[in-house]
């Protein structure tokens, strides 16, 4: 059952996250499905969870699928382990996972350049038993700076995201202020100024944050916004969040970037998950 309609008279271009929507389809069929649903932009988590450095033929095939569908890739995650799954990211994990992240950085950045994608999302990793948080944070800053430099070379911003504590209890960034603190640290380390906050209103609402206050405080440092309703992480109108008010507040705060639809499809499937826009 679709939720109630949400006003969309805002200066936003919506982009579909095709790693949570249209997952009933093979990866290469998703751009065409996004286009058929009426959108010209999509974003992805790193699609090859077991391959930080996939075969060039796989990268070429995804590029061709985007071009054939006439869909712009507007956001891409760096390698983050099994996502969705038990992992939340890789860049702060000592050893093999961190090495996979670093091996992925130039590959992901070059693919982003080749398709005109201008935003790369770098997810922290969970806290690890036996490793001091300070050690993980130092590794994270080093790897985030490495990723920010790669993003800058291809004309992209680096996004830093807060998740939510109920669903990610050992993830260390579970508030907007903490994510922005990391953004500021990366920019101070590199001097590039291309690190930005990824404001995911679903995660922040799950953390119990005052969304109006977050928007007012951090819109100037925000490089991307993602939405899903709460509870349930469904489409706008299926939960309690007032997206008419929230999007309007973002507009007044000066945010004029993309808004990613990162929610779960309802029982009728992904193609039917956009009725709220009417």
CB 56 within 8 A of CB 83: no
Known active-site residue 97: no
Hunting for tokens 């670093």 — which residue is that?
A: 102
Where does the chain show beta strands of DSSP type E? Answer: 14-17, 41-44, 72-77, 119-121, 157-161, 195-200, 222-227, 259-261
How far does the chain reach from its first CA to its final CA, in angstroms? 14
Catalytic residue among 43, 97, 209, 262: 262
Whether the bond into 234 is cis, omega within 30 of 0: no
262 is known as an active-site residue: yes
Backbone angles phi, psi at 48, to 5 degrees: -110, 85
Closest by Cα among 260, 275, 197 to 12? 260
Question: 227 near 203, Cβ under 8 Å?
Answer: no
Round to whole Å and give the CA distance between 54 and 33: 23
**Cβ pair 107, 120 in contact under 8 A:** no
Choose, from 43, 97, 161, 209, the residue flagged as catalytic.
Answer: 161
Task: Single out the residue of 111, 46, 28 nearest to residue 84, CA to CA.
Answer: 46
In this structure, are residues 203 and 175 in contact, taking their beta carbons and an 8 Å threshold?
Answer: no
Indicate the length of the chain as a whole number: 278
Catalytic residue positions?
A: 161, 262
């Amino acid at each position: 059952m679709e939720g109630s309609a949400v006003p969309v008279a805002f200066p936003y271009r919506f982009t579909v996250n095709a790693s949570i929507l249209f997952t009933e389809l093979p990866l290469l069929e998703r751009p065409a499905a996004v286009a058929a649903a009426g959108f010209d932009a999509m974003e992805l988590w790193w699609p090859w969870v077991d391959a930080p450095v996939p075969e060039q033929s796989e990268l070429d095939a995804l590029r061709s699928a985007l071009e054939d569908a006439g869909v712009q890739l507007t956001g891409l995650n760096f390698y983050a382990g099994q996502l969705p799954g038990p992992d939340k990211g890789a860049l702060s994990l000592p050893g093999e996972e961190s090495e996979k992240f670093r091996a992925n950085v130039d590959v992901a950045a070059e693919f982003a350049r080749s398709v005109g994608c201008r935003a790369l999302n770098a997810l922290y990793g969970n806290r690890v038993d036996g490793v001091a948080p300070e050690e993980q944070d130092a590794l994270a800053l080093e790897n985030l700076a490495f990723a920010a430099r790669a993003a800058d070379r291809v004309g992209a911003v680096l996004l830093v995201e807060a998740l939510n504590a109920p669903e990610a209890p050992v993830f260390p960034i579970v508030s907007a202020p903490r994510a922005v603190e990391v953004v500021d640290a990366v920019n101070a380390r590199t001097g590039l100024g291309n690190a930005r906050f990824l404001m995911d209103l679903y995660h922040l609402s799950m953390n119990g944050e005052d969304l109006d206050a977050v928007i007012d405080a951090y819109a100037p440092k925000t490089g991307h916004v993602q939405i899903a309703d709460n509870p349930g992480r469904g489409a706008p109108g299926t939960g309690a969040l007032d997206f008419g008010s929230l999007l309007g507040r973002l507009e007044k705060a000066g945010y004029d970037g993309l808004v990613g639809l990162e929610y779960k499809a309802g029982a009728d499937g992904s193609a039917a998950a956009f009725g709220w826009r009417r």
